[in-house]
C-alpha cells in the first residue's frame, strides 16, 4: 500500500507499508501454550518433573514439579555437586558406576530407580529417572535432558507386598501340616497343584516339581477318592469343607488325613486352598483310648450285676448263639460285595461285643470257666505299655522295671490287661499335676510265716507285679474298704467303685492275692502275687495266625434242648462235612447211643439241661460207647465242669456259648484228636 506523506517543505512524497497475515503464528503460539499447560498438569498428576543439564557450565534447569519432588528452595544452587548431594549416600557409588558404564560408555538412555534426600526437609523418597545425554560431533557430552518420577508410594506398596509374601511363604513352609492350592474347573475337577509347601513334599515323598504336575485326586488312596469327590461337591456349594480321607505316598504307604479346604476366586478363576493334616497318631490314640475306656467301663460294672449275670447267662448266651450263628451262615451265602454282607457283619460285631460283655460280667462272680495257660507276666506288661501312656496322659511318666528272669504264671492274659488298665486309671486320678507310675516285676518265695499276713495264701514261689504311683495316697480307713464293691472316694459321676473290686476278683480266681501300701501324700503301691510256674510260657500276640479251620467225616451225636440252637449247631457241623445225629435232650441221646447208629466218635452236649446235666449224660454215654469222646457246650460255667474258682477240670473239652462256626470247628478237632 502507498500513502502520500507531506514533508516539511510542503511537498507530498509516497511511502510504502508492508502488512502480514499472522493468524497461523498466533494459533501456533496458542497451541504451544496449551501443550505447555497440559504438560504441567500431567507432571503435577504424575509427580513427574523434567530437567535440562548443561554439561559445559554444570548448571541445570528444572520444572516446578521437579522442584517440589526434590524439595528445592530458593537458596539451592543448581550445580552438579548440588545434584549429587540430593542422591542418597547409599546410592551414589552405584549411580556413578551406572552413569560411566551405560550412559557415557555405551551412550544408552539413563533408566534407573534410586533414592534421593529432599533438600528442604531431609525426607527420603524413591524416584524413577529417565534421561538422554546429547553429544557434539566430536563425541563429547554437551547436554542431558530427562524426567524424574516420584515412585515412593508405589515402592512402599511393592515392598509391603513383598514382605507380606515372604511372611506368607515362611508360614506356608514352616507349618507342620501340608498346604496345597490348585484351580478348580467349572464341573468341579481340580487341576494340577499351583502351590505346595515343604511339608507336602516331605510327607508324600515327591519333589516339588513332581507334585506340581499332579492333581489332588492323585494323592488319594483308592478308598479315599469317593470321599474326596463328595467333599469337593460340598466345597463348591458351601465354599468351605472339612473331611477325613486316606492319602497315598510315593512309596505306596497309606496315611489317614484330615483336610480343611476353602474355595475362593483369584483373577476370575476358582481356586482351592487346603490344609492337610496327618492324623495317624490321633487315630491310633482314639482307637486305643476307646478300647481301653470300653474295657474299663465293662469291668467296672461286673460286680454290681455279677450275680444277676450268672443267673441269666445261660439263656442270654443261647440267644446270642442264634444271632451269631445265623449271621455266620448268612455271610457264607452272601457275596462280600453285597450290602447285606456289611449289615450281617454289623450284627456279628454287636453280638460279639455282647458276648465279651457277658464273659466279663461273669468273671467277677467267678462263674466263668477260665482256661489259664503259662504266660510271661513281663511280656504282657510290655504289650500294655504301648497303650497305657495314651490312657493316663502326657503329664504322668511311666517307669518299667522288669525282673531279668521271665515271670511265668498260670493265668489268662486278658484279665491281667484289665487289672493294669484299672490300676492306671486309679493312679491317673490320684495324681495331681505331674507324677510317676512305676511298674515292676520280681520273684519271691513265701514261707508259712509270710502267709499269715495274707489269708488264703500258700507257701511257694510267686511272681510279684508291683504297680506304684506318686498320687495323693490313702489313709488306713480308706485302705480297709478299697476292694468293696461300690466303695469310692471320687466325686459323683467320676467312678463306680467297681474297678478295684474287679481286680480283686480276677486275682483271687487265679489263686493270687494283693498287698496294698499307702499313706496320705506318699502315693500308693499295689503288690499282686501270682503263683509262679516253671517251664516255657505261651502268649498269643495280636496278629498271629490262628489254627486253621478244618472239618471231618466223623459221626457226631449233638445234644441240645434249645431247638434253634440245636438246628444252628447242626448246620455248622454238617457244613464242615460231619455226619450229625441230633437229640433234644438226654433221654433221646441215650436211645441213639444205645441203638444201631453205627460208630459215633464224638458227643457234643449242652451242660445245662432238664433232668440230667451234660457231665452226667457223658458218663452214661461212655458206658454205652467207651471209645466216644466228649465236647461240652454251655453259656454258663457249671460246677459240674469246673473246679472251685471256675478253673476247667483237666482233660475236659469245653466250648463257651456263643460260638462261631470256626470256634466250633477247632474245638471239635481238638476233642477228636485229643
pLDDT the model gives residue 619: 92
Q: Name the nearest CA neighbour of 502 among 302, 271, 284, 268.
A: 302
Residue 302 binned pLDDT confidence (cut-offs 50, 70, 90): very low
- Of 297 and 570, more confident: 570
**Is the pLDDT confidence value at 492 over 60?**
no
* Contact in structure between 445 and 519 (CB atoms under 8 Å): no
HSE on the CB side for 418, CA within 13 Å?
Answer: 31
Between CA 319 and CA 441 the distance in angstroms is 42
pLDDT the model gives residue 409: 87
**Is the pLDDT confidence value at 36 over 80?**
no
Q: What is the mean pLDDT of residues 394-416?
A: 84
* Contact in structure between 233 and 184 (CB atoms under 8 Å): no
**Is the pLDDT confidence value at 540 over 50?**
no
Element housing 253 (H / E): none
- Of 432 and 556, more confident: 556
Residue 417 binned pLDDT confidence (cut-offs 50, 70, 90): confident
In Å, how far from its chain's centre is CA 368? 39
What the block records as the C-alpha cell of 402 is 522288669
Q: What is the mean pLDDT of residues 254-282?
A: 90
Lowest pLDDT segment from 25-39, 238-252, 627-641: 25-39
Bridge partners (DSSP) listed for residue 373: 411
- Of 161 and 139, more confident: 139
* Contact in structure between 145 and 51 (CB atoms under 8 Å): yes
**Is the pLDDT confidence value at 517 over 80?**
yes
Angstrom distances, CA of residue 417 to CA of 21, 90, 292, 421, 614:
119, 74, 9, 6, 33
Interstrand relation of 178-184 and 269-278 (parallel, antiparallel or unpaired): antiparallel
Between CA 408 and CA 373 the distance in angstroms is 10
**Is the pLDDT confidence value at 670 over 60?**
yes
Between CA 533 and CA 411 the distance in angstroms is 10
Q: Which residues contact 422 (CB under 8 A, 6 or more apart)?
A: 296, 299, 300, 499, 500, 502, 503
Which residue is associated with the grid cell 494459533?
Answer: 27
Q: Name the nearest CA neighbour of 297 among 504, 505, 496, 507.
A: 496
Q: For 258, left (φ over 0), alpha (ψ -120 to 50), or beta? A: beta
pLDDT the model gives residue 33: 67
What is the DSSP code string of 569-595?
HHHHHHHTT-EEEEESSHHHHHHHHHS
pLDDT the model gives residue 602: 94
Which residue is associated with the grid cell 464242615?
Answer: 576
Q: What is the mean pLDDT of residues 229-237?
A: 89
Between CA 206 and CA 192 the distance in angstroms is 14
HSE on the CB side for 671, CA within 13 Å?
Answer: 26
Between CA 385 and CA 218 the distance in angstroms is 38
Residue 25 binned pLDDT confidence (cut-offs 50, 70, 90): low
**Is the pLDDT confidence value at 138 over 60?**
yes
Which residue is associated with the grid cell 501456533?
Answer: 28
- Kindly give the residue spans of alpha helices, DSSP state H, lying in 205-301: 208-211, 225-238, 280-300
pLDDT the model gives residue 542: 36
Between CA 466 and CA 399 the distance in angstroms is 11
Q: Name the nearest CA neighbour of 408 among 440, 456, 443.
A: 443
pLDDT the model gives residue 513: 85
What the block records as the C-alpha cell of 377 is 507276666
* Phi (first) and psi of residue 9, to 5 degrees: -80, 0
Q: What are the tens digits of pLDDT across the range 463-487?
A: 999 999 999 888 888 877 677 655 5
Between CA 321 and CA 315 the distance in angstroms is 10
Q: What are the tens digits of pLDDT across the range 87-135?
A: 999 999 999 999 999 999 888 999 999 999 999 999 999 999 999 999 9
3-state helix/strand/coil string of 435-481: EEEEEEEEEEEECHHHHCCCCCCCCEEEEEEEEEECCCCCCHHHHCC
Query: Global pTM?
Result: 0.40
Interstrand relation of 12-16 and 654-656 (parallel, antiparallel or unpaired): unpaired
Q: What is the mean pLDDT of residues 211-229?
A: 89
**Is the pLDDT confidence value at 333 over 60?**
yes
Q: Name the nearest CA neighbour of 439 among 412, 415, 419.
A: 419
DSSP 8-state assignment for residue 532: B
What 3-state DSSP class applies to 100? Answer: helix
Q: What are the tens digits of pLDDT across the range 338-356?
A: 888 888 888 888 877 676 5
Between CA 618 and CA 589 the distance in angstroms is 10
Interstrand relation of 513-518 and 110-117 (parallel, antiparallel or unpaired): unpaired
Which residue is associated with the grid cell 511311666?
Answer: 398
Residue 537 binned pLDDT confidence (cut-offs 50, 70, 90): very low
Q: What is the mean pLDDT of residues 659-674?
A: 90
Q: What is the mean pLDDT of residues 211-224?
A: 90
Q: What are the tens digits of pLDDT across the range 51-94?
A: 999 988 888 888 888 888 899 988 888 888 888 999 999 999 99
User: Omega into 658 within 30° of 0, i.e. cis?
Assistant: yes
DSSP 8-state assignment for residue 105: I
Q: Name the nearest CA neighbour of 426 among 348, 320, 525, 534.
A: 525
**Is the pLDDT confidence value at 450 over 80?**
no
What 3-state DSSP class applies to 11? Answer: coil
Bridge partners (DSSP) listed for residue 256: 246
Bridge partners (DSSP) listed for residue 218: none
Element housing 116 (H / E): strand 110-117
Between CA 511 and CA 513 the distance in angstroms is 7
pLDDT the model gives residue 544: 42
pLDDT the model gives residue 413: 66
Between CA 665 and CA 127 the distance in angstroms is 92
**Is the pLDDT confidence value at 289 over 70?**
yes
**Is the pLDDT confidence value at 609 over 60?**
yes
C-beta pairs of 139-142 under 8 Å, 24+ apart in sequence? 141/55, 141/104, 142/54, 142/55, 142/56
* Contact in structure between 571 and 619 (CB atoms under 8 Å): no
Give the percent of the chain with pLDDT over 70: 78
**Is the pLDDT confidence value at 307 over 50?**
yes
* Contact in structure between 197 and 176 (CB atoms under 8 Å): no
What 3-state DSSP class applies to 213? Answer: coil
* Contact in structure between 1 and 18 (CB atoms under 8 Å): no
The chain-wide mean pLDDT, for the chain, equals 81
Amino acid at each position: 500500500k502507498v500513502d502520500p506523506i507531506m514533508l516539511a517543505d510542503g511537498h507530498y512524497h509516497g511511502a510504502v507499508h508492508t502488512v502480514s497475515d499472522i493468524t497461523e503464528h498466533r494459533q501456533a503460539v496458542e497451541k504451544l501454550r496449551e501443550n505447555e499447560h497440559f504438560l504441567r498438569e500431567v507432571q503435577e498428576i504424575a509427580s513427574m518433573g523434567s530437567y535440562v543439564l548443561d554439561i559445559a557450565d554444570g548448571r541445570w534447569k528444572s520444572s516446578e514439579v521437579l522442584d517440589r519432588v526434590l524439595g528445592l528452595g530458593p537458596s539451592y544452587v543448581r550445580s552438579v555437586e548440588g545434584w549429587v548431594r540430593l542422591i542418597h549416600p547409599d546410592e551414589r557409588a552405584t549411580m556413578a558406576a551406572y552413569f560411566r558404564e551405560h550412559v557415557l560408555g555405551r551412550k544408552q538412555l539413563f533408566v534407573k530407580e534410586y533414592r534421593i534426600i529432599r533438600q528442604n526437609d531431609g525426607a527420603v523418597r524413591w524416584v524413577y529417572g529417565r534421561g538422554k545425554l546429547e553429544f557434539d560431533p566430536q563425541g563429547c557430552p554437551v547436554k542431558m535432558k530427562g524426567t524424574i518420577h516420584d515412585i515412593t508410594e508405589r515402592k512402599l506398596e511393592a515392598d509391603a507386598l513383598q514382605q507380606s509374601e515372604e511372611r506368607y511363604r515362611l508360614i506356608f513352609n514352616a507349618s507342620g501340616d501340608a498346604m496345597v492350592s490348585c484351580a478348580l474347573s467349572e464341573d468341579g475337577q481340580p487341576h494340577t497343584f499351583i502351590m505346595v509347601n515343604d511339608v507336602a513334599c516331605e510327607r508324600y515323598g515327591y519333589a516339588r516339581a513332581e507334585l506340581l504336575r499332579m492333581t489332588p485326586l492323585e494323592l488319594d488312596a483308592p478308598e479315599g477318592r469317593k470321599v474326596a469327590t463328595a467333599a469337593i461337591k460340598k466345597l463348591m456349594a458351601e465354599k468351605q469343607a472339612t473331611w477325613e480321607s486316606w492319602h497315598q505316598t510315593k512309596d505306596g504307604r497309606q496315611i489317614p488325613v484330615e483336610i480343611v479346604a476353602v474355595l475362593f476366586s483369584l483373577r476370575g478363576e476358582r481356586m482351592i486352598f487346603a490344609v492337610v493334616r496327618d492324623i495317624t497318631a490321633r487315630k491310633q490314640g482314639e482307637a486305643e483310648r476307646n478300647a481301653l475306656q470300653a474295657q474299663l467301663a465293662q469291668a467296672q460294672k461286673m460286680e454290681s450285676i455279677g450275680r444277676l449275670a450268672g443267673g441269666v447267662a445261660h439263656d442270654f448266651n443261647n440267644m446270642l448263639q442264634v444271632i451269631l450263628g445265623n449271621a455266620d451262615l448268612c455271610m457264607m451265602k452272601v457275596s462280600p460285595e453285597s450290602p447285606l454282607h456289611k449289615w450281617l457283619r454289623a450284627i456279628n460285631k454287636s453280638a460279639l461285643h455282647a458276648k465279651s460283655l457277658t464273659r466279663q460280667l461273669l468273671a467277677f462272680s467267678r462263674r466263668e470257666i477260665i482256661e489259664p495257660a503259662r504266660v510271661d507276666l513281663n511280656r504282657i506288661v510290655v504289650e500294655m505299655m504301648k497303650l497305657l501312656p495314651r490312657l493316663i496322659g502326657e503329664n504322668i511318666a511311666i517307669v518299667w522295671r522288669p525282673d531279668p528272669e521271665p515271670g511265668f504264671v498260670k493265668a489268662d492274659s486278658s484279665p491281667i490287661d484289665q487289672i493294669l488298665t484299672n490300676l492306671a486309671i486309679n493312679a491317673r486320678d490320684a495324681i495331681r499335676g505331674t507324677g510317676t507310675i512305676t511298674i515292676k516285676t520280681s520273684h519271691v518265695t513265701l514261707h508259712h510265716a509270710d502267709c499269715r499276713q495274707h489269708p488264703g495264701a500258700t507257701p511257694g514261689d510267686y511272681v510279684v507285679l508291683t504297680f506304684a504311683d506318686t498320687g495323693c495316697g490313702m489313709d488306713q480307713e480308706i485302705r480297709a474298704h478299697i476292694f468293696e464293691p461300690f466303695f469310692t472316694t471320687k466325686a459323683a459321676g467320676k467312678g463306680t467303685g467297681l474297678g478295684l473290686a474287679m481286680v480283686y476278683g480276677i486275682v483271687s480266681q487265679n489263686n493270687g492275692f494283693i498287698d496294698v501300701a499307702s499313706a496320705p501324700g506318699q502315693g500308693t503301691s499295689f503288690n499282686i502275687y501270682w503263683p509262679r510256674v516253671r517251664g516255657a510260657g505261651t502268649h498269643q500276640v495280636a496278629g498271629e495266625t490262628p489254627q486253621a479251620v478244618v472239618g471231618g467225616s466223623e459221626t457226631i451225636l449233638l445234644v441240645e434242648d434249645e431247638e434253634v440252637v440245636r438246628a444252628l449247631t447242626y448246620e455248622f457241623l454238617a457244613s464242615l462235612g460231619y455226619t450229625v445225629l441230633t437229640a433234644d435232650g438226654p433221654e433221646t441221646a441215650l436211645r441213639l447211643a444205645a441203638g444201631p447208629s453205627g460208630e459215633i466218635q464224638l458227643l457234643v452236649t449242652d451242660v445245662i439241661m432238664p433232668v440230667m446235666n451234660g457231665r452226667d449224660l457223658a458218663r452214661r454215654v461212655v458206658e454205652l460207647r467207651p471209645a466216644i469222646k466228649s465236647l461240652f457246650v454251655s453259656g454258663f460255667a457249671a460246677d459240674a465242669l469246673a473246679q472251685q474258682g471256675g478253673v476247667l477240670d483237666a482233660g475236659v473239652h469245653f466250648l463257651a456259648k456263643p460260638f462261631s462256626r470256626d470256634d466250633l470247628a477247632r474245638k471239635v478237632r481238638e476233642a477228636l484228636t485229643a
